[in-house]
């Protein structure tokens, strides 16, 4: 079972279309392979022209514009056994939030200096020598 959304479809394509010697998914050698593929709307589905090939290779494509959970729950044809069914989730991650800008150095140093602290550069240690392996 593949649960795919966003840019994860490119990885799914590579897994489905890779030959056995390239460590692909090899859907033809498996009892059943089903890909639940979510996109925000019909126009956002990628590789539609390849879905027929994927079906020929042994992977049923179940597109949905709702949630992956809804697609999975609504699929009455997929026989799922929790002990023998594997799931691969391929999804694009949201970009990480931008880090907070650092506090201005003067805003940090001023309270320390008022408390009598002095600013000195940290002592540098030499890196250990590299050893050949």
Condensed to tens digits (0 to 9), the pLDDT of residues 41-60 reads 999 999 999 999 999 999 99
Question: What local confidence, expressed as pLDDT, does residue 38 receive?
Answer: 94
Domain extent for 41 = 2-91
pTM: 0.66
In a domain, 119, yes or no: no
Count the domains in the chain: 1
In a domain, 126, yes or no: no
In a domain, 116, yes or no: no
Could you give the CA distance from residue 123 to residue 73 in angstroms, rounded to a whole number?
A: 61
Question: What local confidence, expressed as pLDDT, does residue 125 receive?
Answer: 53
In a domain, 47, yes or no: yes
Higher-scoring residue by pLDDT: 30, 34 = 34
**Predicted confidence band of residue 29 (pLDDT cuts 50, 70, 90):** confident
In a domain, 27, yes or no: yes
Task: Give the side-chain half-sphere CA count within 13 A for 104.
Answer: 4
Nearest in space to 19 (alpha carbons), one of 8, 29, 9: 29
In a domain, 128, yes or no: no
In a domain, 14, yes or no: yes
Nearest in space to 63 (alpha carbons), one of 41, 78, 85, 79: 41
In a domain, 9, yes or no: yes
Tens of pLDDT, residue by residue over 4-23, are 998 899 999 998 998 877 77
Residue pair 55/28 in contact (Cβ under 8 Å)? The answer is no
Nearest in space to 6 (alpha carbons), one of 86, 68, 51, 52: 68
């Amino acid at each position: 079972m593949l649960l795919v959304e966003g840019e994860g479809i490119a990885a799914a394509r590579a897994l489905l279309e890779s030959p056995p010697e390239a460590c692909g998914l090899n859907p033809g050698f498996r009892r059943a392979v089903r890909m639940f593929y979510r996109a925000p709307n019909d126009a956002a589905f990628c590789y539609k022209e390849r879905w027929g090939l994927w079906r020929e290779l042994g992977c049923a494509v179940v597109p949905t514009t709702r949630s992956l959970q809804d697609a999975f729950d609504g699929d009455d044809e997929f026989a799922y056994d929790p002990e023998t069914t594997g799931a691969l989730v391929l999804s694009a991650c949201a970009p990480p939030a931008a880090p907070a800008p650092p506090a201005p150095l003067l805003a940090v140093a001023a309270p320390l200096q008022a408390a009598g602290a002095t600013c000195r550069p940290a002592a540098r240690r030499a890196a250990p020598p590299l050893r050949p392996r």
